[in-house]
Amino acid sequence: MSEIVPAPARTPWQTATITCIVRQTPRVTSFYLKPSLPFHYRAGQHVDVRLTAPDGYRAQRSYSIASAPENGGVFELAIERLSDGEVSSFFHDVASDGDEIELRGPLGGHFVWSVADGGPLFLIGGGSGVVPLMSMLRHRAANASPVPAVLLFSARSWDEVIFRDELLALHEKHDGFQLVLTLTREASRREGDYARRIDRMLIEEVLAKFPTTPEQVLICGNNPFAETASRVVFEAGISASSIKTERYGAA
């Protein structure tokens, strides 16, 4: 994910070891990392990753953390392969178990949520923008929080729904969390899902699922997605002070 606020000078670079690699979708793979230094984070934060070539050339990108803060000493980055992405190509084509990666973090204090923040909680993600939202949902589940929460997740197809099986299982718990999918390039698979891009009517229908107006609305996706989603949420009557956005670019 793109870095919103420059990292403080006191945030040190450290090495982290890849302990496991799991394919999520045809274009997204999760990398589980064990940092060499103590690492405590909040749901929604991200890290900077830095690669250094033998000739000294460096490439640096930011990625959101997918795991819950309760996950212990290992955390997860779910990285999408991009055709022009130097760092994402390295992870997908070169990185393997046992490799050491240079990173710093956690970073970012604006786009975060904890159970103490309450709700209702409305999460809206586009593509890999679901990653920090997944951290929040896992944090909610780890604490058995009763906060009402809905994730509206826009993906191109059923096979590109990142964390699909886990999200469906969370939905089936009937503990106040609901998953709503909208697929933009194929028909919907579940009752109550959609097959179109997010618009105001869709947002209003999803808002009707909440017992009361959401107090926390967090939106993450690429620039056009985040801009459109935040606009239609505001037009649907949600206060601007309740809306937080995170935007990402190439990686």
At 101, list the tokens: 């990666």
**Neighbouring-strand partners of residue 103:** 14, 49
Q: Is this prediction's pTM over 0.85?
A: yes
What is the reported pLDDT for 53? 84
Please state the φ and ψ torsions of residue 242, each to the nearest 5 degrees: -90, -10
What is the reported pLDDT for 84? 80
What is the reported pLDDT for 5? 41
How does pLDDT run along the chain (251 residues), one tens digit per residue?
333 344 444 789 999 999 999 999 999 999 999 999 989 999 999 999 999 888 888 999 999 999 999 988 899 999 999 888 889 999 999 999 999 999 999 999 899 999 999 999 999 999 999 999 999 999 999 999 999 999 999 999 999 999 999 999 999 999 999 999 999 999 999 999 999 999 999 999 999 999 999 999 999 999 999 999 999 999 999 999 999 999 886 44
Half-sphere exposure of 166 (CA within 13 A, CB side): 13
At 102, list the tokens: 């240079």
Domains of the chain, with CATH numbers? 13-107 (2.40.30.10), 115-248 (3.40.50.80)
Radius of gyration in angstroms for the set of CA atoms belonging to the chain, rounded to a whole number: 18
